[in-house]
Amino acid sequence: MINKSQMNSLGQSLLNFWRSSIGKKLIVAVTGIILVGFLLAHMAGNLLVFQGREPMNDYAYFLHHFLHGAGIWLFRLVLLGAFVLHIVTTICLVRENRAAREERYACEATVKASGSSKIMIWSGLTVLGFVIFHIFHFTVRVDPDLAAMKDPLDPSRHDVYGMVIAGFQNPLVVLFYIIAVTLLCSHLRHGVASLFQTLGFRSEKTRVAIGYLGIAIAIILWLGFLSIPSLVTFGLLEDKGAAIEHSSHSTASLLKC
Amino acid sequence: MNLTLKVWRQAHANDTGSIETYPANDIPEEASFLEMLDIVNERIIEDGGDPIHFDHDCREGICGMCSLTINGVPHTKDSGITTCQVHMRKFREGDTIWVEPFRARAFPIVKDLMTDRSAFDRIIAAGGYISVRTGSAPDANSIPISKDDANDAFDAAACIGCGACVAACKNASAMLFVGAKANHLNKLPQGEPEKDKRVLGMVRQMDAEGFGNCTNQYECEGVCPKEISADVIAKLNRDYAAAATREAVE
Ligand code: HEM
Ligand code: FES
């Protein structure tokens, strides 16, 4: 039983919140919202690749320079915080959940759990592996060829447009992207609907809409993210500028002046 | 009809236990599942064996005492009924039926298929009540309660505390039970004043008993013999967030 003296300390309340099952679930849901919000923005930004080299590279330049370059670090900090908290909390939950049902049924069956809901930890851990790969691929740029690419229109800045297309020339890389993003979307097909339940918004009135929202977000992200590597693989998205880079370079810089 | 049973046998709480096979021949189709077990038990006793122990009481779907996970699903796949309401005509000649106890760390096995579900009683004792005497049943409408609130409270109050929700959940979470018991009282004028205390107390007791966390798969809703909706879990989440916030700042 809770009495008033126990209720008084703020520290105790926060500790109780972390220790409680619902408290941890709420942390997963809120960090999940932050991550989904990021994914939607990130996908929208990526789609600028279809607008061509200049809009894409302008956008990348903006990201790296808003608030005098502090903006992106602030953004990365919040994102990293949410990501780490999400992972630590979910791993904690999964361990508690396995302990709560230590003895399994000899005959296992489910009546309504969705496939994606059963593999949340595995889809999540694949995403974790993918995120690490993805950061080395396009953010840290461990491949010196990708790191050295300069915008032919403005050689003082990095050519993000060219890098994305060059980065997807390897079919194995593309295959990994397809598998990881598909599992990410499976994660969100359950996760998005689930977070509304965790936050207490699911009811008879909202149930159906929330279910469709989860599916819709998963489909939008799947199509949006995978359109780029697959179109590059099928040769439908080519870096035409790269081929004419040398001849057009002077005209481009002339045009700039 | 002739069936084969695969039954969990465990001599006592600390025994490791195992699945044993029993023939169940010449079972009348109109027998209930528990009556079928009675018939099998009589034969086991005749042969000098130890009968299969299982929980039961009213045998009409109202007390919440019967349990059993049948072919992996508590109270069988048929919705809206308890094990005592299952009839053998639901099975087919020659079927093999797996009969296991409700499994959860918080529901320790006493013997065979009998489990100790007193963790639920301790959750109720941690807040699932009204502290003051509210008298006997009042005259209808002497306390105004909106139809919606009355309906919600009534739906939640249908819970018979059998524990199928826990047994069905891969995390052995008791959220459907706690959600139902808290929501039953939270919106009624008699229960509302103690809402925060109730929600915090019951959720903390639930965690202390070793039940798992809800992962929103709604297996509980799927097997609940009283078809209680997982919406009560959403409400519990919401009420817990509000109560924990108030507790932290007030
Ligand atoms: C971009 C990355 C990610 C996004 C957008 C995301 C999003 C979400 C969302 C929205 C939920 C539902 C929250 C709820 O039920 O209230 C969730 C649950 C979950 N996430 Fe993630 N997640 C991501 C990465 C990860 C990673 C790397 C892991 C690895 C450990 C992970 C493991 C889980 C697990 C196990 C759950 C289920 C928790 C539960 O059902 O109780 N997630 N995620
Ligand atoms: S024995 Fe009472 S509900 Fe089944």
Q: Which amino acid is at B38?
A: D
A118 vs B contacts (CB less than 8 Å): 170, 217
Residue A252 — very low, low, confident or very high, per pLDDT cuts 50/70/90?
Answer: very low
A interface mutation test: which of B105, B165, B166, B170 has the most A CBs within 10 A? B170
Helix axis angle for B118-125 and B195-208, nearest 10°, is 150
CB atoms within 10 A of CB B141: 7
Least trusted range by pLDDT, from A77-91, A206-220, A240-254: A240-254
Ligand 1 pocket: which of B169, B215, B220 to mutate (most atoms within 8 A of CB): B215
pLDDT value of residue A242: 59
Nearest CB to A106: which of B98, B215, B247?
A: B98
In whole angstroms, give the CA distance from residue A24 to residue A60: 35
pLDDT value at residue A251: 41
B156-193 residue pLDDT tens: 999 999 999 999 999 999 999 999 999 999 989 999 99
Domain segments of chain A as ranges: 25-256
Residue B161 Cβ contacting ligand 2 at under 6 Å: no
pLDDT at site A9: 80
CA B240, CA A118: separation in Å to the nearest integer?
26
A25-256 has which CATH code?
1.20.1300.10
CA distances (Å), A247 to each of A10, A171, A242, A253, in order?
Answer: 67, 30, 10, 11
B227 vs B72: CA distance, rounded Å: 18
- What does the pLDDT read at residue A16? 87
Q: Between A254 and B47, whose confidence is greater? A: B47
pLDDT, tens digit, 9 for 90 and up, residues A162-200: 999 999 999 999 999 999 999 999 999 999 999 999 999
Shortest distance between the Cα of A42 and any Cα of chain B, in A, equals 27
pLDDT band at B134 (very low <50, low <70, confident <90, very high): confident
Task: Please report, rounded to a whole number, the percentage of residues in chain B having pLDDT higher than 90.
Answer: 92
Q: Measured in angstroms, how far is the CA atom of residue A32 from the centroid of ligand 1? A: 6
- B67 CB near ligand 2 (under 6 Å): no
Q: Are A244 and A142 in contact (CB under 8 A)?
A: no
SS (H, E, C) chain A: CCCHHHHHCHHHHHHHHHHCHHHHHHHHHHHHHHHHHHHHHHHHHHHHHHHCHHHHHHHHHHHHHCCCCHHHHHHHHHHHHHHHHHHHHHHHHHHHHHHHCCCCCCCCCCCCCCHHHHCHHHHHHHHHHHHHHHHHHHHCCCCHHHHCCEECCEEEEECHHHHHHHHCCCHHHHHHHHHHHHHHHHHHHHHHHHHHHHCCCCCCCCHHHHHHHHHHHHHHHHHHHHHHHHHHHCCCCCCHHHHCHHHHHHHHHHHHC
Q: Which residues contact B42 (CB under 8 A, 6 or more apart)?
A: none
Half-sphere exposure of B152 (CA within 13 A, CB side): 19
Domains detected in chain B: 3-111 (3.10.20.30), 117-249 (1.10.1060.10)
Residue B22's identity, in one-letter code, is Y
Return the number of other C-beta atoms located less than 10 Å from residue A204's C-beta: 9
For B57-76, the pLDDT digits (tens) are 999 999 999 999 999 999 99
Dist. CA A166–CA B7, nearest whole Å: 61
pLDDT tens-digit map of A105-145: 999 999 999 999 999 999 999 999 999 999 999 998 988 88
Ligand 2 site, residue B64, Cβ cutoff 6 A = yes
- Ligand 1: residue of B173, B216, B217, B220 to mutate (most ligand atoms within 8 A of CB) is B216
Tell me the ligand closest to A200's alpha carbon: 1
Average pLDDT over residues A201-229: 96
Quick check: CB of B32 below 6 Å from ligand 2?
A: no
Restricting to A residues 179-198, those with a Cβ less than 8 Å away from any Cβ of B are 190, 193-194, 196-198
B104 alpha carbon to ligand 2 midpoint, in Å? 20
Distances (CA, A) of A101 to A105, B108, B166, B171, B211: 9, 11, 9, 6, 8
Taken in order B208, B211, B214, B220, the sign of the CA dihedral is negative
CA distance B21 to B45: 16
**The dihedral of CA B225, B231, B235, B240: what is its sign?**
positive
Residue B12 has pLDDT above 90, yes or no: yes
- Nearest CA distance, A201 vs chain B (angstrom): 7
Look at residue A10 in the predicted model and tell me its pLDDT.
Answer: 80
* Mean pLDDT score, B119-146: 91
Chain A residues whose CB is inside 8 A of the B234 CB are 196-197, 200-203
Residues in chain A with CB shorter than 8 Å from the CB of B8 are 106
Distance between CA atoms of B125 and B201, rounded to whole angstroms?
Answer: 9
Q: What is the mean pLDDT of residues A228-257?
A: 63
Bridge partners of B3, per DSSP, are B24
pLDDT at A255 > cutoff 50: no
**Residue A7 pLDDT > 60, yes or no?**
no
Contact list in A for residue B214 (CB cut-off 8 A) is 21, 25
Which of A101, A114, A199 shows the shortest C-beta gap to B103? A101
Distance from the alpha carbon of residue B168 to the mean position of ligand 1, in angstroms = 22
Residue A256 has pLDDT above 50, yes or no: no
Q: What are phi and psi of B233, to 5 degrees?
A: -75, -40
Calculate the dihedral angle through the C-alpha atoms of B103, B235, B225, B218, rounding to the nearest 10 degrees. Answer: -60
* Average model confidence (pLDDT) across chain A: 89
Q: Positive or negative, the Cα torsion across A205, B172, B113, A103? A: positive
What type of residue sits at position B3?
Answer: L
pLDDT digits (tens, 9 = 90+) for A136-154: 999 989 888 898 899 988 8
